[in-house]
């Protein structure tokens, strides 16, 4: 029997949803095995995806987790593309600001002594 759920190619959907500037970039990422569809590694750019599937891939130095909500008929503007998916990516932990001024030379020597006690004063 045929699957009644509408599907599209993985590389084409990633391009239409504007995660990649060109379709060939999306194809290369999938072919390198860097995209997971429902926790299974996808190695073929023609892997069928549809609404409800969860994609996991690296982009811009972070891991993206995306749930497909709809398929596109064209590569439209950004607001149209953002309606195609739900971003499940956990928020990044905020970078903790340094407290206090820059360490002095004496402070740096004390830190070095703590890190490597064998290299004490000569």
CA 122 to CA 108: how far, in whole Å?
Answer: 17
CATH number of 8-91: 3.10.290.10
Using one digit for the tens of pLDDT, what is the confidence trace for 41-69?
999 999 999 999 999 999 988 999 999 99
pLDDT surpasses 90 at 28: yes
Predicted model pTM: 0.74
Using one digit for the tens of pLDDT, what is the confidence trace for 74-100?
999 999 999 999 999 998 888 877 788
pLDDT surpasses 70 at 14: yes
pLDDT surpasses 60 at 35: yes
> What is the predicted pLDDT for the residue at 94?
83
> What is the predicted pLDDT for the residue at 96?
79
> What is the predicted pLDDT for the residue at 100?
82
Instruction: Say which residues have a Cβ less than 8 Å from residue 37's Cβ, sequence separation at least 6.
Output: 10, 47, 49, 53, 54, 55
CA 91 to CA 89: how far, in whole Å?
Answer: 6
Tell me the pairing of strands 40-42 and 35-37.
antiparallel
CA 27 to CA 31: how far, in whole Å?
Answer: 6
Instruction: Say which residues have a Cβ less than 8 Å from residue 97's Cβ, sequence separation at least 6.
Output: none
Domain ranges of the chain: 8-91
């Amino acid at each position: 029997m045929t699957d009644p759920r509408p599907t599209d190619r993985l590389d084409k959907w990633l391009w239409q949803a504007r995660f990649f500037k060109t379709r060939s970039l999306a194809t290369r990422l999938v072919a390198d095995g860097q995209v997971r569809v429902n926790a299974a590694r996808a190695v073929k750019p023609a892997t069928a995806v549809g609404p409800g599937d969860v994609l996991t891939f690296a982009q811009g130095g972070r891991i993206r987790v995306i749930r497909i909500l709809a398929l596109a008929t064209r590569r439209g503007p950004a607001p149209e593309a953002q309606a195609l998916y739900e971003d499940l990516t956990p928020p990044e932990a905020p970078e903790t600001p340094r407290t206090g001024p820059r360490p002095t030379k004496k402070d740096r020597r004390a830190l070095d002594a703590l890190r490597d006690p064998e290299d004490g004063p000569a």
